[in-house]
């Protein structure tokens, strides 16, 4: 049976820097034929001294998942459109790297020249019903810079344009979401516009509020973490706090530029 993936009955595979091979299944396959080819391929890779075997299986080919698992593959990670399966050829314990472990969120302290901060009330979520005015928050997308996410969330929730100034603090928490860990970065932003146009589906209210009034809310005072963050924000307002600012730098192993955040 002819198959574009196939060369002499063995899967065509890309090699990685760790003696691994990676196969991407791009066309429909019968599961019996898949198993035959998989066994022949692994035999050959074993002789070649290969170690990890990765199969990227688009969701359209979910008919092959069970066959791969029966051959000893396990799940590495999944995204909406595909499942990544992995197998380890040598007799020694595997050194397959772990899956992504953290979600990343931001909170944005947007302070204007009058010492007021931009605050919102949310319609849903954990703050629903608390009546607390909080800073805009949101999730950092895969591939998105923290400083960019903070600006985006502020604009989405309140219509305010702003620029990233400094990272004030961050919190790490665990088991927050399907057992994953969470990093939450408090960013200070400088507003570039002043007229609020709130997003209606998620945001119940948005306003500029005196920093001191924000910090004095009973909900903020009552919770150790919120209270400390409010203290940091008050110190920042008085120019008595230095966070980390950002600088774009070339990375060592590619031409890509990444942000380094540090105390300038």
CA nearest neighbour of 158 among 184, 121, 129: 121
Residues 52-81 that bind its own copies (CB under 8 A): 59, 62-63, 65-66, 69-70, 74-81
| Least distance CB 84 / its own copies (angstroms) | 7
CA–CA distance, 143 with 58 (Å, rounded to integer)? 21
E-state strands within the chain:
6-7, 10-11, 14-15, 21-24, 52-58, 74-79, 82-88, 102-110, 116-122, 137-139, 162-177, 180-191, 203-210, 245-250, 257-262
Footprint of its own copies on residues 108-137 (CB under 8 A)? 124, 126
Q: Which is nearer to its own copies, 83 or 208 (CB)?
A: 83
- Rounded to 5°, angle at Cα 242 from 239 and 245: 120
Cβ atoms of residues 145 and 133 within 8 Å: no
Q: What residues numbered 209-228 form the site for its own copies, per CB under 8 A?
A: 219, 223-226, 228
Stretch that binds its own copies, among 44-52, 96-104, 156-164, 209-217 (CB under 8 A): 96-104
- Which of 121, 181 has the CB closer to its own copies? 181
* Nearest to its own copies of 36, 66 (CB atom): 66
* Separation between Cα atoms, residue 180 and residue 186, nearest integer Å: 20
Could you give the C-alpha distances from 147 to 85, 139, 167, 199, 259, in angstroms and in order? 34, 12, 8, 21, 9
Q: Count residues contacting its own copies (CB under 8 A)? A: 76
Using rule CB under 8 A, residue 192 touches its own copies: no
Of residues 246, 251, 248, 238, the one with CA closest to residue 262: 246
Determine the interface stretch with its own copies among 42-50, 112-120, 179-187, 188-196 (rule: CB under 8 A). Answer: 179-187
By the rule CB under 8 A, 28 interacts with its own copies: no
Count CA atoms closer than 13 A to 1's CA, side-chain side. 12
From 5-13, 32-40, 140-148, 152-160, span contacting its own copies (CB under 8 A):
140-148
Structure tokens at 10: 């063995």
User: Position of tokens 């990670």?
Assistant: 77
Q: Counting contacts by CB under 8 A, is residue 164 touching its own copies?
A: no
Q: Rule CB under 8 A: is residue 15 a binding residue for its own copies?
A: no
CB of 105 to its own copies, least distance (A): 10
Nearer to its own copies, 36 or 130 (CB): 130
Q: By CB under 8 A, name the one of 12, 15, 30, 141 that touches its own copies.
A: 141
């Amino acid at each position: 049976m002819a198959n574009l993936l196939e060369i002499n009955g063995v899967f065509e595979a890309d090699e990685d820097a760790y003696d691994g091979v990676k196969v991407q299944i791009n066309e429909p396959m019968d599961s019996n034929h898949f198993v035959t080819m998989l066994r022949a391929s692994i035999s050959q890779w074993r002789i070649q001294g290969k170690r990890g075997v990765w199969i990227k299986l688009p969701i359209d080919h979910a008919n092959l998942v069970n066959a791969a698992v029966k051959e000893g593959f396990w799940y590495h990670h999944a995204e909406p459109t595909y499942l990544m399966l992995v197998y380890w050829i040598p007799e020694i314990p595997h050194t397959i790297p772990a899956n992504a472990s953290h979600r990343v969120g931001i909170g944005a302290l947007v302070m204007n020249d009058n010492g007021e901060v931009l605050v919102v009330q949310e319609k849903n979520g954990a703050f629903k019903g608390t009546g607390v005015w909080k800073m805009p928050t949101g999730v950092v997308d895969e591939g998105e810079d923290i400083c960019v996410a903070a600006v985006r969330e502020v604009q989405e929730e309140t219509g305010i344009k702003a620029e990233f100034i400094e990272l004030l603090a961050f919190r790490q928490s665990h088991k927050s979401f399907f057992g994953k860990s969470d990093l939450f970065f408090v960013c200070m932003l400088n507003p570039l516009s002043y007229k609020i146009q709130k997003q209606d589906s998620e945001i119940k209210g948005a306003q500029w509020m005196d920093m001191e009034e924000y910090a004095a809310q009973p909900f903020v005072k009552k919770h150790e973490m919120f209270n400390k963050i409010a203290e940091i924000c008050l110190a920042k307002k008085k120019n008595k706090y230095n966070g980390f600012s950002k600088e774009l730098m070339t990375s060592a192993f590619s031409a890509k530029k990444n942000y380094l955040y540090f105390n300038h």
